[in-house]
Amino acid sequence: MGVVITPQSEIDKYFESDALSQSSLKKLLTGIDSFINNQKEESELFYTEKGHFVIGSAVDMLLTGEKEEFDNHYYVSQITKKPSEVEMSIINEVFSNLTEEDKDIFNLPITSLSDYKSNIENASISNDWYGGKPGDKRIEGLIERGSQYFEDLKKGLGKQILTSEEKKLIDDIVFSLKSNPRTSKFFDRTALSRAELVTVYYQLPIYFYYKGIYCKALLDMLIVIRNEKGEITSVQAFDLKTMNGNTLRFLSNLKSFRYDIQAAWYTEALLASPSSFELEGKIRENMLKPFTFIVESNSYPGQPLLFEADEDILNTGKNGRKDLKVKLPTNDYEDTVIRHVVGFDELIDTYIYQNDNDWKEEEIITKNNGVLKFDWNGIK
């Protein structure tokens, strides 16, 4: 049937949409403040970037997007190491202010970073670098370490800057996933486009309703297989993950980042809204093959693994675990503790409750008038 790659314009619309995503919803796991501040910088810095996210997004785009989109989004620098986090933030703020102060970068060229010491001083205050008073020596050091990065911002003009080492790592991960026998078949677009009765969707946005809430999901890959009559016989969704360390330790990452919620959320999206990708008829559960994570290490690529989510993972992601007893043999006080694992169904209920109550405070606080009973294991 062929390979279908979602146009970048549709992906941009997805991210601009007000529909609720699982990544936003998971912010409620740590309280309503995290959710409210979801669209704000978690850091007080003007600019931050998470290295693992930069690498993972670039890998996704090269494997499941169009090559020209990678070139549109990333600028590859010759530097091997970026300035520190706060230094990058200061330099980005200086550059941003220069390009926004009624200046045409093409008619009034921005010069070297050393020409903007007063701008650096101002950005040092807003980024609280050494209390906003770094002194001349530190500013000179920042200029020395950050001048090439500043030049890259000028050349990239809005693109994500990649160091040469980051680009090499991205290329190594992509090569591993394209060449390893376990994973290569998912990214061989030539072979996939020739496969009869098979349609592969890359970067597929799906919109659906859950408990009356408008929701969205963005699948890295979806494989749909039909019979000779054109009827769907199986559907399987995949998500690409990069991680630090050995890929065998992915389960630890799944629990830490609650990828079980993601797997369950995407499965719910498939069952709820086939019209999002022009399928005829409703997808039934017996058509679904296991939701699968394709996992590669960004520490030492070369051993990509496939992790299939079973019913227990999907059920935990959706419904959570109630009153789960965990044996702690080293606990001197109790034989067991009780842990409550939250699924997205409960998170949606929290979201609905907070929408109805103006996001003032946690539900447990309101319902108990601020008087909370607790024992050794937590709040009752």
- What CA–CA distance (Å, rounded) separates 348 from 219? 20
Can you give the residue ranges of every domain in the chain? 46-170, 178-319, 321-379
Tell me the average pLDDT of the chain.
89
278 pLDDT above the threshold of 70 = no
Q: Which pLDDT belongs to residue 336?
A: 60
- The confidence score (pLDDT) of residue 43 equals 56
Q: pLDDT of 308-322, one tens digit each?
A: 999 999 999 999 988
Confidence of residue 67 (pLDDT cuts 50, 70, 90): confident
* Long-range pairs for 65-72: beta carbons < 8 A, 24 or more residues apart: 65/5, 65/8, 65/202, 65/203, 66/5, 66/8, 69/8, 72/8, 72/159
Give Dmax (Cα) for the chain.
75
Which of 241-245, 247-251, 327-331 is predicted with the least confidence, judged by mean pLDDT?
A: 327-331
Q: Mean per-residue pLDDT for 292-302?
A: 96
| CATH code for residues 178-319 | 3.90.320.10
**What pLDDT score was predicted for residue 333?**
55
The whole-model pTM stands at: 0.88
Q: Which residue has the higher pLDDT, 55 or 375?
A: 55
- R_g of the chain, CA atoms, integer Å: 24
Whole-angstrom distance, CA of residue 373 vs CA of residue 379: 6
Average pLDDT in the 372-378 region?
Answer: 80
Do 207 and 275 touch, CB atoms closer than 8 A? no
Residue 301 pLDDT > 50: yes
- pLDDT score of 138: 96
- What pLDDT is stored for residue 141 in this prediction? 97
Higher pLDDT, 158 or 39: 158
Residue pair 154/206 in contact (Cβ under 8 Å)? The answer is no
pLDDT one-digit tens code per residue, 22-43 = 999 999 999 998 888 764 445 5
The H or E element containing residue 178 is helix 164-179
